Structure 1
């Protein structure tokens, strides 16, 4: 495949894993039994991705509690009344609130990567949470004896370590999940919060060499949870010019679910950094209908009318189950959509001659 195609990250958990998670929460099984169920789900995820021809795989985030909270699961000094993320259908997710410093990760993403690589026969990509998302843990009224700047220093160091450990463990690519980028424009239309997010993420990215940054990418979408979004109503073109200031080698952008993809593609063409690759979303995890390979092909060909074909890649718009308890999309539908993405990308590459 001469147009690269990569998954974003999460795959819906199998029923056996969901049952084990519920049993563990009730105290009916121990950590070892839960870990065994997680390992089995990761192994099955990788096997199924390889069987449908995915040239790059992920662990499907089977062992993560969510794409955003994996570094802080079980961390002390957290309260439950943090920032609320409202979704269009009325449901909410709530981040915890940090109550004391210093801030340290409780877990790093390379633990997931190392297990996945032992079971994969193709390159493995690893998703990590962007530091900008975790900056929301710090309360607006501050923490006595632990300033926001001290927190951001600690956060930047932890985020750098998370990325670096994955690169050193052999990740094909490390993807920063930056769903809060578009959401920030809903919370603050002036763009000041978004600018702070970009500055913080670049503060971390600047610590890597050009060769290392070529293996780092960033993913953006309007959120995807229980078949709903948190910021699809925000004008994408207000985000993208700032997004492309991030010092990464690849951008994974939601596009299949956009109402006016040509408008978005025109902005991408204007602002995409010269040496970066753009992975466009060609399947919509929120839409229960499985795309056909021809639909995927046509989405790639539409993108190629705006962007150089040799800088194009494809992806899913977002993860299929970013939060572990999200069962809105079935596992089989997720794999069917991924298979359509792969086949449609091959069809497009053939027509484009790349």
Structure 2
């Protein structure tokens, strides 16, 4: 993994707006309508375009925008054996439950039915991830960038969205997911791409299961980190990044667990880089935590300098200020500019106008350039 040794690197969390034709093709596949070759062509074209746009916007560590995926976690239902029937995401975030009228406006009408785990979990085949890898590697060969990364769902976040109806316990389900997903993680690493593990469960599930005590939540988070460690045991930490968040939606977030209460568990995870929310009004102040908490040797921070839930375009000066704060505490080489979360977490659920997404990324690049000058 490259560091910000000469200038502040820029990246983002993963998902980017899909073109309308691709979105329609993804939705048809999700409904079970066969359109394999057509979808593959739409994905290839989209990845080429998304990589070009990232480079033009000044993003230096790019990805495929998760173009082939219907959702950052739920895509695994197409790659894993053992899922079917209907499970329901019935945990209501505590912040939305406190404001039911607002909750209805935010999630009313959204179908939360998902397949459930109804049998032994196993990785089906590598065709899909190999196609993703080929598309990304072909696209990055045409642009000047620093590195490329590819996202993959963590065992923990899969368990949040795809309900366990087969294994006797949550623990057994997590370990089974870890062994199955190891196949995908290893393939991404072997291809020479940075592996990003998406782990919103390390923060978001605290207010999704508010009935649990903090100690109970921390035990769950530790289990998920241990499972992640087993699944990535053959990949060097420096070849991985971890993304955690509190849920990529515009809401009160007044029940979010403080970063202070989970940072020790997060730092136990094997990935060297930690991507996290640091731009939105609920979590921006937490940069001061690193006045007290020492960054472990070898770790890198990817603080969000763009809020992924608002159409405000951050001023480059604000981006620079945010980056300089972190750099002065942990060292410039240990900071990479990022976004709070994805800009199209689920393919059909957009809160940010696509054109504004690209303007925000340009603002991040301009702000990173300002920060680089100030940190020389």
SS in 1 for 2:68: coil
C-alpha displacement at 1:246, in angstroms?
A: 1.4
C-alpha displacement at 1:283, in angstroms?
A: 0.6
Q: Indicate conservation of the 8 Å contact 1:65/1:73, yes or no.
A: no
Q: Indicate conservation of the 8 Å contact 1:244/1:271, yes or no.
A: no
C-alpha displacement at 1:3, in angstroms?
A: 1.9
Superposed counterparts of 1:183-222, under 5 Å: 183-186=204-207, 187=209, 188-206=212-230, 208=232, 212-222=236-246
C-alpha displacement at 1:162, in angstroms?
A: 1.7
Q: Cα–Cα, structure 1 residues 341 and 85, in superposed 2: closer, same or farther, change >3 Å?
A: farther
Q: Cα–Cα, structure 1 residues 93 and 125, in superposed 2: closer, same or farther, change >3 Å?
A: farther
Q: Cα–Cα, structure 1 residues 268 and 110, in superposed 2: closer, same or farther, change >3 Å?
A: farther
C-alpha displacement at 1:277, in angstroms?
A: 0.6
Q: Distance in 2 between matches of 1:80 and 1:27?
A: 15
Q: Indicate conservation of the 8 Å contact 2:241/2:274, yes or no.
A: yes
Q: Distance in 1 between matches of 2:137 and 2:246?
A: 30
SS in 1 for 2:293: helix
Q: Distance in 1 between matches of 2:320 and 2:62?
A: 21
C-alpha displacement at 1:97, in angstroms?
A: 5.2
1:23-51 Cα offsets, whole Å, 9 max, x none, are 66678883322222222211110111122
Q: Distance in 2 between matches of 1:269 and 1:174?
A: 29
SS in 1 for 2:192: coil
Task: Confirm or deny that 1:102 pairs with 2:104.
Answer: no
Q: Indicate conservation of the 8 Å contact 1:205/1:213, yes or no.
A: no
Alignment partner of 2:84 out of 44, 56, 78: 78
Q: Distance in 2 between matches of 1:99 and 1:132?
A: 14
C-alpha displacement at 1:57, in angstroms?
A: 1.0
The equivalent of 1:265 in structure 2 is 288
Q: Distance in 1 between matches of 2:372 and 2:281?
A: 23
1:175-199 Cα offsets, whole Å, 9 max, x none, are 1111122122221332423422333
Q: TM-score, normalised on structure 1?
A: 0.87
C-alpha displacement at 1:269, in angstroms?
A: 5.1
C-alpha displacement at 1:210, in angstroms?
A: 8.8
Task: Give the root-mean-square deviation of aligned CA atoms.
Answer: 2.8
Q: Distance in 2 between matches of 1:93 and 1:291?
A: 32
Structure 1 alignment gaps of length 5 or more: none
Q: Cα–Cα, structure 1 residues 317 and 3, in superposed 2: closer, same or farther, change >3 Å?
A: same
1:187-222 Cα offsets, whole Å, 9 max, x none, are 133242342233333333256569711111111111
C-alpha displacement at 1:293, in angstroms?
A: 1.3
The equivalent of 1:155 in structure 2 is 177
Greater shift after overlay, 331-340 or 49-58? 49-58
Task: Confirm or deny that 1:312 pairs with 2:338.
Answer: no
SS in 2 for 1:251: strand
Superposed counterparts of 1:1-40, under 5 Å: 2-22=7-27, 30-40=35-45
Alignment partner of 2:135 out of 107, 115, 131: 115
Q: Distance in 2 between matches of 1:343 and 1:6?
A: 13
Structure 2 alignment gaps of length 5 or more: 1-5, 97-101
The equivalent of 1:181 in structure 2 is 202
Q: Cα–Cα, structure 1 residues 77 and 217, in superposed 2: closer, same or farther, change >3 Å?
A: closer
Q: Distance in 2 between matches of 1:16 and 1:39?
A: 12
SS in 1 for 2:301: strand
1:200-255 Cα offsets, whole Å, 9 max, x none, are 33333256569711111111111114xx2585631322232322221221101110
Q: Cα–Cα, structure 1 residues 191 and 271, in superposed 2: closer, same or farther, change >3 Å?
A: farther
Task: Confirm or deny that 1:286 pairs with 2:309.
Answer: yes
Give the number of equivalent residue pairs. 347
Task: Confirm or deny that 1:66 pairs with 2:90.
Answer: no
Q: Indicate conservation of the 8 Å contact 2:15/2:65, yes or no.
A: yes
Q: Cα–Cα, structure 1 residues 244 and 127, in superposed 2: closer, same or farther, change >3 Å?
A: same
SS in 2 for 1:233: coil
The equivalent of 1:343 in structure 2 is 366
Q: Distance in 2 between matches of 1:50 and 1:231?
A: 33
Q: Distance in 1 between matches of 2:58 and 2:327?
A: 23
